[in-house]
Structure 1
């Protein structure tokens, strides 16, 4: 009850801060480079990386420096990886579901998702998001015959330099609530896995010094590397 009353009192300030952030934020482009390809030798593996601006590589210049670059480079050490990237800045989960319906004739053994930040920024409730995750999972399994779906936890938005307080605190609380729903969902779905980088980010001093991209909202190249390498490691472990 107390928390609800605090949020009611802060609502006008949070709304003003949200407008202010949109006005002053630096808009970075999505990374350049190919959005599909084949890399490596060995057993065939088809991979889809999909989601929002982080999946699209916002914060670095080229896809080789972004999530899809690092994960495919790692997987290619053991597999012949045929990969595709379906991502766009601003994508919510429902946006991604709609975009995926337009892709025909594809099959993906493994899917890595970066989704949730824009849902946190929307009025959506975490339980409603869980229902959308179910729809997305069913779509990936039925439309693309996907065997394994890896979700990435929502990043700790309470640490985003772009955001002023108390908006930073509020969105951090929202992100944590969404992550609890995501963990619950993954725990109930055997085809799904979760990649949570929060521990690595807190323990690695070099990563903390590297910080985020210059907009204070998206990953820097060192963060993309940690993400891509960790995801590839978990995917290969599960495949083995």
Structure 2
């Protein structure tokens, strides 16, 4: 998107952003345990790091959120006993996620999943800096938790968020695509990091009540896709298509 156009629209975008925040209902993070064990077989240690989407905002419990769908599906596909831990907080950027895990000191893990990026777009973090912050997060997790691989979920198609009015929705969508393309390019150059594209529907019935956060259908689709990638690409498990 041309910078001049974005600057020209900036007063309207600020007004729309403020109005959107005021009218959006404040939804809680999903209730339930943020660590557990699921499945049978060889142990597979999984760490999930995220923002509100990682924390399950939009559904009632972690069983219905990303963590529940991801861990159950991974245990089934990898034929493993998944020992999982979730460290997530609504509203955080990638840089703040790194600060969070540094404070929380997660348990050792084999693989980490990061669900971040929307707040980088909202806070207008430059694309290059956002990628650098993802690299810092991945490097810290590799060094301090022992993870062999960090899997990054894609940014959602923000141009389809029902809550956002135009042109704010269009601008946010353009920024999100730019961030996601840069993240995919960065991840492709590293052997210990992956970016997993996921095709999801953001129809109103698939979203949370606020029109911004995922609903259970989106969490299920993302959790299953990430689990399939981990099982088939990282652990080379044969699964039926």
Q: Does 1:239 align with 2:198?
A: no
Name whichever of 56-65 and 94-103 sits farther off: 94-103
- The answer to whether the Cα contact below 8 Å between 2:111 and 2:147 also exists between their aligned partners in 1 is yes
> C-alpha deviations, 1:208-232, integer Å up to 9, x for none?
4733111000111011111111111
SS in 2 for 1:149: strand
CA distance, structure 2, for counterparts of residue 81 and residue 211 of structure 1: 27
Kept in 2, the 8 Å contact 1:46–1:82? The answer is: yes
Residues 112 and 151 of structure 1 are in contact (CA less than 8 Å); yes or no, is this contact kept in structure 2? yes
Cα distance in 1, alignment partners of residues 189 and 92 from structure 2: 25
Indicate yes or no: 2:185 matched with 1:184: yes
Q: Is the 8 A contact 2:29 2:55 kept in 1?
A: yes
TM-score of the two chains, using structure 2 as the length reference: 0.93
2:84, 2:4 → 1: CA distance? 48
Q: Is the 8 A contact 2:184 2:195 kept in 1?
A: yes
Q: How does 1:85-164 map to 2 (within 5 A)?
A: 85-104=86-105, 106-164=107-165
Name the CA distance, whole Å, in 2 between partners of 1:193 and 1:118.
20
Q: 2:84 — aligned with what?
A: 83
Secondary structure in 2 matching 1:55: helix
Summarize the Cα distance change of 1:141–1:170 in structure 2 as closer, same or farther, 3 Å threshold: same
Equivalent residue number for residue 58 of structure 1: 57
Q: Secondary structure at the match of 2:104?
A: coil
Deviation at 1:201, TM superposition (A): 2.3
Shift of 1:103: 3.1
Q: Deviations over 1:57-108 (max 9, x none)?
A: 0110010001000111112221111100000100111111011112347211
Give secondary structure in 2 for the equivalent of 1:201: coil
Q: Is the 8 A contact 2:206 2:216 kept in 1?
A: no
CA shift, 1:113, in A, is 0.8
SS in 1 for 2:81: strand
Structure 1: any 5+ residue segments left out of the alignment? none
RMSD: 1.4
Partners of 1:52 and 1:140 in 2: CA distance: 16
